[in-house]
Structure 1
Amino acid sequence: MTTFASFLREREGSLTEQMDRPDCDPDRLRRSYARFPLVNFLVAAWGRNYTRRIRPLLSGSTPLTLLDLGCGGGELVRRLVRRAARDGLLLEATGADPDPRAHAFATSRPAHDGVTYLRADSTELLTGGRQYDVVVSNHVLHHLSAAELAAMLSDSERLARRLVLHNDLRRSRLAYLLFLAGFWPLGPGSYIHTDGLASIRRSYTQAELRAIVPPGWQVVRNGAWHLLLVYRPPGGGSA
């Protein structure tokens, strides 16, 4: 019998989130994409990532290119481009996702200068000869099988010229309880609450990620609830 003391001790990678199901309700899925900006603003710590790791690479004369793998509804690339523009810096961002539903939602948003969306995964981008200064992802790693995670990290190393940042949830009982209590208002009509709880159960601890990432990758805490995988290609500069 599972007790509170043992709950979340092990990663539950076999769970299936409703948004990942091809037959999930399309209206609930669209409402989930629409609510991601608020969720990411509250918990995902991309303001810190931008300030500490991305902004030092930007300039006001030469655009930096950035790729968001598994971009979902495309909220992150829009936010990063807006933030750079407010700082008077140039950023050209591409959001890529192989899911046609995510791509359709992202491209249905108002057009934004400096933002492009592609329906593709990392392997397809590599096959197409693409490369970017910075490669990022948000809340993607826990969705992947061991083989898919290894492939994404390998592809990221080859896609990025200067920096890779993969941000994901850190599994903990406190994170689960706070999400359970605090995010239920975003649940009705969407998959935010149920899938968010499943995401925490599927996510990694810092020790677990350190045990499986290839040489050259760092696993660091990113705020209270997240872990950040960081990779700097040889000769790619510092951030």
Structure 2
Amino acid sequence: MAEVRSLRHRDDTLVELMDDPRCDPAMLDRTYAQFGRVNAVVSNQRAVYRRWIRPRLSATATRRVLDVGAGGADVPRALLRWARADGLRLEVVAIDPDPRAFDWASRQPPVPGLVLRRAMSSELADAGERFTAVVSNHVLHHLDGRQLGALLADSERLARGGGVAVHGDIERSRLGYLGFALGTLPFTPNLLAGSYIRADGLTSIRRSHTAAELASMLPAGWRVRRGIPSRLEVVWGGDG
């Protein structure tokens, strides 16, 4: 219960095991492989697609979406799958500066419309690239205040001209922590065995923000929306 009580304050001193460059490569690979299954339950990316991305897509012209910190690129693959099912044309540029993530994603079967790049958002913004939507999933809790400000500034440049930026993350709460701890416990010896999913998921929740904390850090033009389950969306542009 001490860990649950500690959720009153964000603990940004914690480091996720998979962020250690010396972490076990086999466990890291299994973690990337399991992200798709886990994100389908805890991230509600289908809601992000329906609200923010699908209304901006076209059946005749290809739109571009940027996924920042894409990891193993499970979210971009899901976005492309949903767009294809809806008869809409989409290209997703998935970027991550971590060579381990880029290498794992590059070894997976190719998907039409998926572009993998080992890059930072600032590199694309400096190059003058533009996107219909700029998104991220579970990135914000990794960032300090300076890094968060830089990502938001890059997102504005990348989405300007009518685009939208939506950065989704966990909302720190006792309910979310207990829900993830209890929900993943039965799968620890089987589906999640040999990965960092459960340990790093709990660490992520303790590193994450509340809605009020994030709102106090945002520059003008940005807003926080709550989602389900225990989700926050930091949004710029769009229709509110």
Letter in 2 for 1:30: D
Deviations 1:183-219 (A, max 9, x none): 1314420000000000000000000000001110110
CA contact (8 A) 1:217 1:231 kept: yes
Could you say which residue in structure 2 is the equivalent of 1:164?
Answer: 165
Quote how far apart the aligned CAs of 1:83 are.
Answer: 0.2
Please, what TM-score do these two structures have when normalized by structure 1? 0.94
Alpha carbon RMSD of aligned pairs, Å? 1.5
Q: In the alignment, is residue 212 of structure 1 matched against residue 213 of structure 2? A: no
**Cross-structure match for 1:116:** 115
Q: Whole-Å Cα distance in 2 between the matches of residues 4 and 199 of structure 1?
A: 13
Per the alignment, residue 9 of structure 1 pairs with 8
Q: Give, as a single letter, the amino acid of the residue that structure 1 aligns with 2:137.
A: N
SS of residue paired to 2:205: helix
1:202 matched to 2:207: yes
The 3 A distance-change label for structure 1 pair 208 and 92 is: same
Residue 141, structure 1, aligned to residue 146, structure 2: no
* Alignment coverage as a number of residue pairs: 234
Moved over 3 A (4+): 2-6
Query: Aligned partner of 1:221: which letter?
Result: R
Secondary structure of 1:8's counterpart equals helix
Measure, in 2, the Cα distance between the counterparts of 1:107 and 1:238.
35
Q: What letter is aligned with 1:11?
A: R
- Contact 2:4/2:177 (<8 A) preserved: no
Distance 2:147 2:51 in 1: 28
Under a length normalisation based on structure 2, what TM-score does the superposition of the two structures give?
0.94
CA distance in 2, matches of 1:193, 1:187: 7
In the alignment, the residues of structure 2 paired with residue 131 and residue 139 of structure 1 have an alpha-carbon distance, to the nearest angstrom, of 22
Unaligned stretches of 5+ in structure 2?
none
Provide the residue aligned with 1:101 in structure 2.
100
Unpaired runs of at least 5, structure 1 = none
